[in-house]
Amino acid sequence: MDIKSLNIEELENYIVQSGQPKFRAKQLYQWMHVKRVCSYDKMGNLPAVMQKELSKQTEFVVLKPVQVLISKIDGTRKYLFGLHDGNVIESVFMRYKHGNSVCISSQAGCRMGCKFCASTLDGLTRNLTPSEMLEQIYAIERDTGERISHVVVMGSGEPLDNYDNLLKFIELLTDTNGMNLSQRNLTVSTCGIVPKIRELGDKKFSLTLAISLHASSDEKRRELMPIANAYSIDELLDACRYYFEKTGRRLTFEYSLVGGVNDSEEDAEKLAHLLRGINCHVNLIPVNPIKERDYRQSGTQAVQGFKNRLEKMGINATVRRELGRDINGACGQLRKSYME
């Protein structure tokens, strides 16, 4: 029984079934998701016998960092957390003018196989539970003593490949009686699992959906991302239009620029044509080279040229500022080097 993954109704059912009065569920929920103490014995208003019973019968997920790297350049912190079964996952803390942001993992490893990404090199180990996703944020608040206002599900793993746990995580994270993060301050990034994008649209959340596009033709996209064999860019963009219709939320397209592969002005033009008429923003990410592959970063000139071309054709674009370059900032690099 993974108690921190239960919403308030499920917790009430559990508490009543175990012979306790229903109001205890609210108290417990508050300790876990508002005061966020690390063990039952800190829950002052719960009877000691109940604390004991709970610690015998439930799993109380608390993540402890096994390693923390702090960037000397920008103060970005990269956390490696150990899970109860010996797996490790990574999360990143970043300070911005608009507030503190945490980037969390949704799976240990990943099975999507994107060519430039370190998270997927050893495949998927397992899905993370809602509590393990939440705890990455809680643990970083505990460690930094600073309030987290923004969350991006953009670390290792494919969130839409762990869809049910993702939904529960969103429910708990944005619950006004819990952590109470605004849905508007939450971003979920996907490599483009088309049916799940539609399902998520039907939920009408006001979170930001980010789509990893990375190419402007199916042919090139298939070279970088195996998921492109399952869904064409046309199908993907149709799902994006559907998502916008349902939620009214502007989409973000992520485009990692790989030198000599997808960074020409012609690529930019094709991309602008594809995205014409979609309410969106393009986030350009100079690829972060990993040692297992020989992809190289586009030069500053190519990056600027790409951005200018998009903007001339009426597509909003920003170049993502690189944070934590000195601490294995890219997806999955720290976990991989730790496991090795």
Residues 3-62 that bind ligand SAH (CB under 6 A): none
Q: What is the dihedral of CA 241, 245, 246, 250, to 10 degrees?
A: 70
The torsion angles phi and psi of 279, rounded to 5 degrees, stand at -75, 105
Binding flag, residue 290, ligand SAH (CB under 6 A): yes
CA 169 vs CA 7, 53, 58, 128, 279: distances in Å: 9, 26, 19, 10, 27
The only residue of 6, 285, 302, 315 in contact with ligand SAH, by rule CB under 6 A? 285
Please say if 219 is a catalytic residue: no
The only residue of 32, 102, 268, 287 in contact with ligand SAH, by rule CB under 6 A? 287
Q: Which residues of 37-50 are buried (b: 16+ CB within 10 A; e: fewer)?
A: beebeebeebeeeb
Q: What minimum distance in Å lies between the beta carbon of 307 and ligand SAH? A: 16
Which span sits near ligand SAH by CB under 6 A: 7-15, 47-55, 91-99, 187-195? 187-195
> Applying CB under 6 A, what is the total number of residues that bind ligand SAH?
18
Q: What minimum distance in Å lies between the beta carbon of 141 and ligand SAH? A: 22
Please pick, among 103, 191, 280, 331, the residue that the annotation labels catalytic. 331
Binding flag, residue 190, ligand SAH (CB under 6 A): yes
CA 240 vs CA 190, 194, 209, 223, 253: distances in Å: 11, 9, 9, 22, 10
Please say if 191 is a catalytic residue: no
Please pick, among 90, 135, 158, 254, the residue that the annotation labels catalytic. 90
H helix intervals, the chain: 8-17, 23-30, 48-57, 130-144, 163-173, 194-202, 218-224, 233-247, 265-275, 300-312, 333-339
In a 3-state reduction of DSSP, which class is residue 210? strand
CA distance 279 to 233: 16
The answer to whether the CB of 189 falls within 8 A of the CB of 152 is yes
Q: Which is nearer to ligand SAH, 54 or 166 (CB)?
A: 166
Q: Which is nearer to ligand SAH, 109 or 178 (CB)?
A: 109
Which span sits near ligand SAH by CB under 6 A: 8-16, 47-55, 232-240, 284-292? 284-292
Binding flag, residue 189, ligand SAH (CB under 6 A): yes
Q: Which is nearer to ligand SAH, 40 or 306 (CB)?
A: 306
**Catalytic positions:** 90, 331
In the complex, the residues that contact ligand SAH under the rule CB under 6 A are: 112, 114, 116-117, 154, 158, 189-191, 212, 254, 256, 285, 287-288, 290, 330-331
